[in-house]
Amino acid sequence: MSQPVTPLTQPLDATVRPPGSKSITNRALLCAALAPGPSTLTGALFADDTRAMMGALSALGAEVAVSDGVVQVTGGALSAGTVDARQSGTTSRFILPAAALIAGRTVVDGTPQLRARPFGPVLDALRQAGAVVESSGFLPAAVTGPAAGGEVTVSGHISSQFLSGLLMAGPLMRDGLRVTLTSPLVSVPYVEMTKAVMAAFGVTVSDLSVEPGSYVPATYAIEPDASAASYFLGAAAVAGGRVTIDGLGTGSLQGDVAFADVLARMGASVIHAAGSITVESSGSLRGIDVDMADISDTAQTLAAVAVFADSPTRVRGIGFIRGKETDRVGAVVTELRRAGIDATEDDDGFTIRPGTPRPTRFAMYEDHRMAMSMALLGLRVPGIEIADPGCVAKTYPEYFADLAALGG
C-alpha cells in the first residue's frame, strides 16, 4: 500500500496544532514513574514510541492509566522485569539507566531495527556506576542494579539520549551522578529539555551533575511536537502561503522550533509569538549553508524544502543521524536521486541542488521522518507517493490526514 499526495492548488492559509511532543512525553512519563505517588500528564502524544514507554514502565511496576487523553502515572520503586522497547530509541535509552536503579535483573529488547542501533556508551556508563551489564553494545541488554552512581563518562557525539537517560536516573542513585562527556555533545537542546522536565518533577541538574534525592509527583502539560511542526512550516515554504503552529511559542522547551529560523534564512517570513509560530512564504526560496547539529530531526524536512530553492543547500553537522532509524543522510540522497534531483552525501551531511522532482514512489526505510518529509514534495508536484505510510504511527499516526487538511 502507498499513500499518494495531492498537490495544492492555491497558497496555504492554515492553523495547525500538532500532537504532543514525543520527546517531552517520554521524559515526563519516566520522571512521573520515578516519583512516589500519582502524577497527571496532559497533552501527551499517543503513538508507537510513547506507548512503548508506557508499556515499559508498566512492565517495571509503575501504574499507567489513560482516560480522555489524560495520562495518570502512579510511580515509586520500580521492580525488575522484561521490557519490549519496540522501535523506540528514547524508550530504550531512557529505560536502561532506570533499570540500573532496580535490585534485580532487567532485560531490555526491541525490534530488529532497534537492535541495530548503538547502545555501548550508555551501557559502559552504567558499568562505571556499578551496575552489572550483559550486552555486546546492542540490544538485547540485561542490567542488574542497584547502581551506586558517582563519576561516569559518556560520549556525546552519537546521541544526546545517552546523557539524558543517565541524568534522569541519577538522583535515585546512592551517590548521585556526575557525568563527564568524552566527545562534543550533539542535539544540545534535548538535554536542556531533559533538565526542564526533571525540574518540573522536583530535581535540579547542575551542569551535568545530580545530587542524591527524589522526584515529586506533578501535574504536567506537554506542548505540541516541534519536530512534527516542521513539516507544516515546511509546507508553507514549499507551497507558498501561511501556516501558523498553535501551542508552540517563544517559551518552548524544544530546540526544533529553530527550524522556522532556518526557513527565514531561505527567504520566508517568520513570526514568533508567545503561543504560536507563523511562517509565510511566496514559494520563492534561496539555498543556504546551515549547521543542523542541534535540530537534526528537521534535516530531512529541510532536504524536501531545498529541492525548490533557487540555489544549492548544504546541510552540515548531522553525520550522527546515520545511526538513527535508518541512515538518514544516505536515505535522503538515494530517494531524491531516484526522483531526478541532484543530491550528494557529505561526511557530515548532504547537499541538495534544486530541480523538479519526477513522479516517484518513495521508499521509507521504516523511518517515520522519511515519510513525513518526502510527502512535502507532493504538495507542489504531481505523482508523488509514499510507500509504507503506516510508519508514521511511530510518532504521528494522523499525519497524512492533517497534511491533506491543509488544502481546505
Quick one: which of 235, 276, 196 has its CA closest to 375? 235
Helices (H) and strands (E) in the chain, counts: 13, 22
Environment class of residue 407 by beta-carbon count within 10 Å: exposed (0-12), middle (13-18) or buried (19+)?
middle
φ and ψ at 186, to 5 degrees? -95, 160
* 297 is a catalytic site residue: yes
What distance in Å separates the CA atoms of residue 305 and residue 326, rounded to the nearest whole number? 20
What distance in Å separates the CA atoms of residue 334 and residue 252, rounded to the nearest whole number? 34
The single residue of 49, 297, 348, 367 carrying the catalytic annotation is 297
Amino acid at 259: F
Write down how long the chain is: 408
What distance in Å separates the CA atoms of residue 231 and residue 302, rounded to the nearest whole number? 9
The string over 327-345, giving b where at least 16 C-beta atoms fall within 10 Å of a residue's C-beta and e elsewhere, is: bbbebbbebbeebebebeb
What distance in Å separates the CA atoms of residue 306 and residue 77, rounded to the nearest whole number? 49
Which residues are identified as catalytic? 297
